[in-house]
Amino acid sequence: MPPTSLVEPDWLPLLTQRQPKAAELLARSPEEQRRLGYFHTLREICQQPSTWLQTCALMCRQAGDFQPMLAQILGLTLTGSGSSEYAGDCVRMALQNELGIVTQAIGGGILLAHGSEALLPDRPGLLVSLARSGDSPESVGTVDLMLRTQPDIRHLVLTCNEAGSLARTYKNDSRVAVITLGEETNDRGLVMTSSFTNLVLGARFLGLVKRPERYQMICNQLSGMASELIQGYFGSLAEVAKAPFKRALFLGSGSRFGAAREAALKMLEMTAGRVTTLCETYLGLRHGPMSYIHRDTLVVCFLSSNPTLQAYEADLVRELDQKELGLRKLMVGEAIPSELVRENDVVLECKGLGQLGDENFPVIDVIVGQLLAFFRCLEAGLRPDSPSEDGVISRVVQTFALHLPKA
**CB 290, CB 325: distance < 8 Å:** yes
List Cβ neighbours of 28 (8 Å cut-off, separation of 6 or more). 36
Domain hosting 346: range is: 223-379
Domain assignment present for 145? yes
Give the Cα separation of 220 and 204 in Å (integer).
14
* pLDDT over 50 (residue 3): no
Indicate whether 98 and 193 sit together in one domain. yes
Residue 371 CB neighbours (<10 A): 24
Indicate whether 93 and 116 sit together in one domain. yes
Between strands 153-159 and 176-180, the pairing is parallel
Domain assignment present for 55? yes
Provide the β-strand partners of residue 179.
Answer: 158
Give the Cα separation of 342 and 329 in Å (integer).
8
33-40: average pLDDT: 96
Give the Cα separation of 402 and 83 in Å (integer).
21
141 to each of 43, 200, 236, 401, how far by Cα in Å? 32, 22, 43, 10
Angle between the N-to-C axes of helices 362-379 and 212-240, in degrees from 0 to 180, rounded to the nearest 10? 30
List Cβ neighbours of 113 (8 Å cut-off, separation of 6 or more). none
Indicate whether 125 and 255 sit together in one domain. no
Of 155, 185, 214, the one marking the end of a domain is: 214
Indicate whether 168 and 308 sit together in one domain. no
pLDDT tens digits, one per residue of 191-234: 999 999 999 999 999 999 999 999 999 999 999 999 999 999 99
Indicate whether 64 and 153 sit together in one domain. yes
Q: What is the CATH number of the domain that holds 91?
A: 3.40.50.10490
Domain assignment present for 131? yes
Of 165, 189, 214, the one marking the end of a domain is: 214
pLDDT value at residue 401: 77
Indicate whether 243 and 325 sit together in one domain. yes
Indicate whether 112 and 234 sit together in one domain. no
Domain assignment present for 387? no
% the chain with pLDDT above 70: 95
Domain assignment present for 38? no
**CB 127, CB 156: distance < 8 Å:** yes
* pLDDT over 60 (residue 362): yes
110 to each of 75, 107, 217, 219, 250, how far by Cα in Å? 17, 5, 35, 31, 24
Indicate whether 331 and 357 sit together in one domain. yes
Closest CA to 390 of 289, 272, 298, 293: 272
Indicate whether 126 and 241 sit together in one domain. no
Indicate whether 206 and 228 sit together in one domain. no
Encoded amino acid at 195, one letter: S
Domain assignment present for 4? no
Q: How many domains does the chain have?
A: 2
pTM: 0.95
Between strands 153-159 and 75-80, the pairing is unpaired
Indicate whether 247 and 364 sit together in one domain. yes
Domain assignment present for 75? yes
90-106: average pLDDT: 98
Indicate whether 131 and 189 sit together in one domain. yes
Domain assignment present for 357? yes
Closest CA to 128 of 56, 193, 191, 200: 200
- DSSP secondary structure letter of residue 398: P
